Amino acid sequence: MDILFEFFLELIVDGVIETSGNKKLSRWIRYPLIALVVLFFGTVIALIFYLALGLSSNEPVASVAFSSLGVFLLVGTVLKFRKLYFAKRADNGSERTNDKRV
Question: Is 77's pLDDT higher than 80?
Answer: yes
pLDDT-based confidence at 75, cuts 50/70/90? very high
Range of the domain at 63: 2-85
Per the CB < 8 A criterion, the answer to whether 65 and 79 are in contact is no
Give which of 98, 77, 90, 84 is closest to 22, Cα–Cα: 84
**54 in a structural domain:** yes
Structural domains in the chain (count): 1
**101 in a structural domain:** no
Question: Is 66's pLDDT higher than 70?
Answer: yes
**99 in a structural domain:** no
**94 or 49: whose pLDDT is higher?**
49
pTM summary value = 0.66
What pLDDT was estimated at residue 23? 79
Range 37-73 burial, b when 16+ CB lie within 10 A, else e: beeebeeebeebbebbeebeeeeeeebeebbeebeee
**62 in a structural domain:** yes
Q: Where are the beta strands (DSSP E) in the chain?
A: none
